[in-house]
Every structure is written in structure tokens, then in C-alpha cells.
Amino acid sequence: MRVGVCADDLIVHVRIGHFPCFIFISMNKPVSAGQSNKHPQTKQMRRKPNEDSHYADPEFSAELIAWQKQHGRHRLPWQNTGDAYRVWLSEIMLQQTQVTAVIPYYLRFLEKFPSVQDLAAAPVEEVMALWAGLGYYTRARNLHQCAKQVVAQYQGIFPSDPSLLNALPGIGRSTAAAVAAFSYGTIAAILDGNVKRVFARVFGIDAYPGIKSVEDDLWLRAEALLPQTEIAAYTQGLMDLGATLCTRSKPDCARCPFQHRCVAFAEGRTAELPVRKPKSKQKEKQTIMLLLEHDGAVLLEQRSMTGIWGGLLSLPELDGMTELEVMSSDKSDSNRIFEQISATDQTRATDIVNRFGDIQSLNRLAPFTHTFTHFKLHIHVIHFIISRRFEFVGEDNLRWTDLEQVEQLALPAPVKILLQTLSSRLI
């Protein structure tokens, strides 16, 4: 009989007749919410890299770890804490957002919600207000839902198993691996945009990474390249390399530790790789916002929790966001169409506003454009000055708000800028 230890568990190797057997004995004890996450209720997972894969390359991880230790980032606020809550919070914020933009939000969140229990107990409106301006607001809603689930399901301790993390709201496969690696030393592969770019250039992958078969193959490579030790340095090294040297444009190849083996550099194709997504015509939409102002206050509407700007306060819209047909590539073309639409609907807008007060004057502001990832939104604002406002009932999603409170509200970025401009004119 042989006895082996795996993390906090016991594995006993016995032989029954001619047949070898393994008996698994869990040694984990219940952990209270107040204890350190260094001993989570879920067993620490240490996955052995696939050494039989033709992608296996121990030199890659060794070179990357050595580079990260000497040249990588080591003083980011969430680093070197071993705190899964802080790691998770930073990883969610860093999704499609640069480090410099994330840091002030991260620090404000920690000040307001120092633990996952504090975040879970907070009203979602408070979370959304603190997130306002960081974009991709579905992340904030999922952040709140995830915190509540971790508290309810795991007593406030994030699991160390990436598959369990992946099952939580807002945590994808790559994010789950990063949280597990940084918090618990779990050996698991990440594959975010930065990593895909590094792999595409270093290994000369001549296909768009968004194609499922290509992405599946990238995951196989990512798993095969994993080191058996120092997973945190390796994972951080991939992130640092993609964010600081192997950038989307103007990569700093002279300082790259993989210049000597980079296919893209050798072939002069760093500008071509990774292969770009096939271009498709960007959609354009339009909306007509109603800006009602009375005695230093404006009328705001709580948006539905789903869809664009879900859960945020915003200006009421006449018909929501509708598709805009642009017949030419002329930059002024959409504005001309938009002006025509807003003029047609002005009477209807006026009828709606009459429900909330007596109109003293109205003014159509110049249209402006806000760009999302997948479409452009052309915004037209009709500014109504209300001389006397009416009380309204049955409209729980509407409220009058002083312009002085704009800074503290969860508002879409273009709406906040508009109201800040209006507020500055009234001072």
C-alpha cells in the first residue's frame, strides 16, 4: 500500500488481487466566511500540462517566467494579495478595459465594498452608480449577482476550481483560470485577447482567432504550454507581454523575449497577425432623448436591467434606439436624415412632455454620436424648459433629480457629459 497527499486530501494506493485501486479521502474541513481564502472549501486543482501534445514547449514558459520576474508588472493594486475577492474584482474590471482606466474604479470599489459580503449586501443601484463610466454595464450586474452567489453558495469564499468559477455569473473560462491561478496557484490556462495576439505572432497562426476551430486549437496550445510551477508569474507574464510589448499596434519587438523565435517578426508580419476579423458594415442607430429641465432639476428614467445601459438612469427616449438607414458614406448624411426624423417627431415629443408640466420653451440641440463596440448611436436631444411641473403617479421608473447630483449618479457616459455641460452653464 502506498499513501500520497494531494493538497489537503489523501490518496491511498492499494492492490486488490491483481487490480490496483486508488482510494480518495477528503481531509477538508468546513471553512467559515471569516477565514482566509487560502484554505477554500473546494480542493486546489493542479492540472498537469499535456506533455504529449505536439504544442508542448517547456522553454516557452521558462523564458516567459524569467522575463516577467525581471521586466513584468509587480505593483498593480490587486497583485501580491492572495485575496481571491480582489483578484476577481480586478479581472472583471479588466475585461475589455485598460489597466489605467480600471485602477481608480478598483480602488473606489474596495473602499466602498471591502469584502465580497459587503458587495453582495449592497443595492444593485449603488453598484451601478459606482461602476458608471467604466462601460460594458452587464459586467456590473453580473458582478453583483456573482458576489451574492459566492456568499450564498460558498460562504463568501471563491472556489479554487476553475470549472466552479466558470459557472458563476460573468466569469468566463479565461477569467476563471486567472482568478484560480493568482489566488490559489491552480494550474489553468488563460486565453484572452492579449494571449491570442501573442500566440498568433510568436507561433505564426495565420487564421482569425474568433473562428471556433481556430480558438479551440489555441486552447489546446494554451493548455500544452502551461508550466508545472510558478503559474502566477507565467499567467501575469502573458498578460504583461500582450499589454506592454506585443501590443495591437506598434509592438516593441526589440524588447520582446521571444523575438528570436517569433514567426511574425521573422516574416515581417507583425502588422498582419493576428488575422483581423472580416469587416462587416457597422450598424447605425438613432434615438431622440427628451431633456426636461425645471428649476435646476431634470427628469430621469430608470432603464430596464437588460439591454444597452441596462439598470442605469438616463434621459427619457421617444422611441428607444431604432435602426438608422444611411444611404451614403458622407459623414454628414446621417445627421441630415436624423434632423428630418427629429423634426417629424417633435410634435409627438411635445405631447408627451405636456404630461409632466407646462412647457415654457423648447430647443433642439445639435445631434452627436456615441460609438459602441458593434454600432454607432446618433443622439438627438430636445431640450424642454418647464415653467411648472406636475405630480405624476404610476411612473415608478421616473424621477426629478437635481443637476448637482449628476456626479454621483449611474448615468451613461454621453448623458452624464451632456448634463455636466448643462449644470456648468447654470452655475
What pLDDT shows up at residue 178? Answer: 98
- The domain limits of the chain are 58-266, 283-426
What pLDDT shows up at residue 339? Answer: 52
CB distance 284 to 376 below 8 Å: yes
Residue 389 grid coordinates:
411641473
CB distance 383 to 421 below 8 Å: no
CB distance 26 to 42 below 8 Å: no
- pLDDT tens track for 321-359: 988 765 555 544 544 445 555 567 889 999 999 999 999
CATH 3.30.2310.20 fits 58-266, yes or no: no
What pLDDT shows up at residue 305? Answer: 81
What pLDDT shows up at residue 304? Answer: 87
| Mean pLDDT, the chain, integer | 85
Tell me which residue has cell 489537503. Answer: 8
What pLDDT shows up at residue 273? Answer: 97
Q: pLDDT class for 51, splitting at 50, 70, 90?
A: low
CB distance 127 to 9 below 8 Å: no
Catalytic residues: 91
- Which of 361 and 14 is assigned the larger pLDDT? 361
What pLDDT shows up at residue 17? Answer: 46
Q: Of 208, 253, 233, nearest to 61 (Cα)?
A: 233
Mean pLDDT of 251-280: 95
- pLDDT tens track for 142-198: 999 999 999 999 999 999 999 999 999 999 999 999 999 999 999 999 999 999 999
Q: Of 11, 28, 29, nearest to 20 (Cα)?
A: 11
What pLDDT shows up at residue 308? Answer: 86
What pLDDT shows up at residue 354? Answer: 92
What pLDDT shows up at residue 340? Answer: 56
Is the per-residue pLDDT at 371 higher than 60?
yes
CATH-assigned architecture of domain 283-426? Alpha-Beta Complex (3.90)
